Structure 1
């Protein structure tokens, strides 16, 4: 039996999980706690407090998934003064092996540990266990990555695919591109500016300013509050969540049109990723947004735009496509990564 420590480290909150593993591939959770990241000057005292409460021996291995870039096993969190270094963490925590990975790389490992109830199938396709696996996830940003079979295991590769150019396909999307270029005075628009939480708001503002649909007073006030709080790290409102909820309830035409355009762009970008990798091992839609707007993702709009790739349509119709419902997939992935150290 091996004791492992997994962590999902974010600028706002951190989740720590202690698990044990044996010869079996399953990981059994021993203890789990959530903390406000800003309440601690560094990760070390947080882990020490966690292990003290768990009242167990020091874990042999640890993996921490970081919301930000990881370079040579070091990471600086965007919204915290923390600077994490795996060698320092090993010494100060007394853990033999510590590694840091990007949070979306952790999602890559995590899909390997999901059960059927953690997934919703959008397209069964023709599964090939030897083929690559692709992951894409819209949340705060747009994560993308892939896995390649290496013997009995998979090797996980992170990418910056969310920063490729946004490729408009319709007259409305061309107008959206021009709107974002002018609004932000920039030379290019990444797909992340459209397919993400900030993308939902950007699409809403575009449709509002073009007067394509009337704005409800309630949502208008929430959006204005968000706009007035520009520059703050923590805002008092979440307009993307409100817009998504209104679209699901069909209570606001502007929100409905916003989410229609968002889902179309999301499906198209997932299809772009699938064309580059041909992931017959499965394409997994992770991130925080998809489970919250699941009925909209399940409509024909997402998969129609996924497969609408001209002569390559027949290739994409054979790719299994799943929505990840388990929001702890990154924490599961960190534990799997720790087990492999």
Structure 2
């Protein structure tokens, strides 16, 4: 007997067969934008193995509603029912990618992290994962009677606003540039409007406007590159604020979940720009006023496990 796990993103669909103990027996990769959709790829993978799996768990980069998902970065959708029918099994499970990321923390190991604060030890305490990528993913893992349980959510859409008078013109410009992300009548915006590869170009243009500068850069990658090389004043300022806001959100949510098992920073933006996780990031994470010392007790890690989707799907399957 074998089970099917998969990690489906905008570019690749990675499928794997695992045994009852969670050991990977075989892997395959399909093009997300290729000739086969996920349900067909599952059927093809099972046909290659010569039998149907016992169960199937799929991690998908999109919002899951009633067992169905539309991928964020690909014109493809699928459902638990469709996967089960394609495989000829009773049922399948679809997890949001950051729900799966949180599940992966149940088996996190020292080699998966760069320690920013604390030590590479992982007690069975609440854990939080925050991931700036195309969007801003958030998930939490807690332990109940020694067993892991994940709390999915939309923490990437909490509110961010100016913290100093100098930042007010930036948020005024951002809300003018992208009014849909405004929250209420004031100046606050959803965190993803800044802390994501999608939001950063809008934020960069708002920073440039507030400084009466041009904004020639078009993508998040270009902005980070220019900031690192100190070639563009608005990019430098935008990334400085990005670091402070990301650290603040991670610290705030770490406080909410009492994440003594660790706060883990992941996602495509983090993986591509490890240089931003410096002393300034840690200081901003710990800037908690009366609770600064409490935040300093939270382990803080840069999480660089590239297979967290597959691992999370496997851990969910094993636990459930």
**Superposition deviation, residue 128 in structure 1:** 7.6
Does residue 315 (structure 1) correspond to residue 294 (structure 2)? The answer is yes
Change (3 A) 1:87 1:117: same
2:200 aligned residue: 200
Contact 2:13–2:32 (8 Å) recurs in 1 = yes
CA-to-aligned-CA distance 1:93-141 (integer Å, 9 cap, x gap): 1234411111110001112233211111111079783431111111111
Match of 1:303 in 2: 282
Query: 1:165 and 1:90 mapped to 2: Cα distance?
Result: 38
The alignment covers a number of residue pairs equal to 314
Classify the secondary structure of the residue corresponding to 1:49.
helix
What secondary structure is seen at the aligned counterpart in 1 of 2:64?
A: coil
Q: Matches of residues 65-80 of structure 1 in structure 2 within 5 Å?
A: 65-78=59-72
Q: Which residue number in structure 1 is paired with residue 250 of structure 2? A: 270
In structure 2, relative to structure 1, the CA distance for the partners of 1:245 and 1:202 (3 Å cut) is same
| Aligned CA distance change for structure 1 residues 312 and 108 (closer, same or farther; 3 Å) | same
Q: Is the 2:129–2:264 contact (alpha carbons within 8 Å) kept by the matching residues of 1?
A: yes
The runs of at least 4 aligned residues of structure 1 exceeding 6 Å deviation read 125-128
Q: Which runs of 5+ in 1 are unaligned?
A: 224-238
CA contact (8 A) 1:41 1:81 kept: no
Aligned to 2:317: 338
Paired with 1:202 and 1:120, the residues of 2 have a C-alpha distance of 30
1:36 — aligned with what?
A: 31
> How far has the Cα of 1:333 moved from its partner?
0.4
Q: Alpha carbons of 1:258 and 1:5: their partners in 2 closer, same or farther (altered >3 Å)? A: same
Bigger mean CA offset, 275-284 vs 63-72:
63-72
Give the TM-score normalised by the residue count of structure 2: 0.88
Distance 1:52 1:92, change over 3 A: closer
**Structure 2 match to 1:7:** 6
Q: Give the Cα separation in 2 of the matches to 1:49 and 1:126.
A: 40
Q: What do you get for the CA RMSD once the two structures are aligned?
A: 2.4
Question: Which of 163, 185, 189 lines up with 2:179 in the alignment?
Answer: 185
**For the residues of structure 2 that align with 1:292 and 1:11, how far apart are their CA atoms?**
17
Residue 129 of structure 2 corresponds to residue 149 of structure 1: no
Distance across 1 between alignment mates of 2:172 and 2:35:
43
Larger deviation, residues 124-133 vs 81-90: 124-133
How far, CA to CA, are the matches of 1:285 and 1:293 in structure 2? Answer: 12
Question: Is the 8 Å Cα contact of residues 138 and 196 (structure 1) preserved in structure 2?
Answer: yes
Q: Which runs of 5+ in 2 are unaligned?
A: 184-188
Offset from partner CA, 1:151-171 (integer Å, 9 cap, x none): 221110101111111132123
Q: Shift of the alpha carbon at 1:143?
A: 1.2
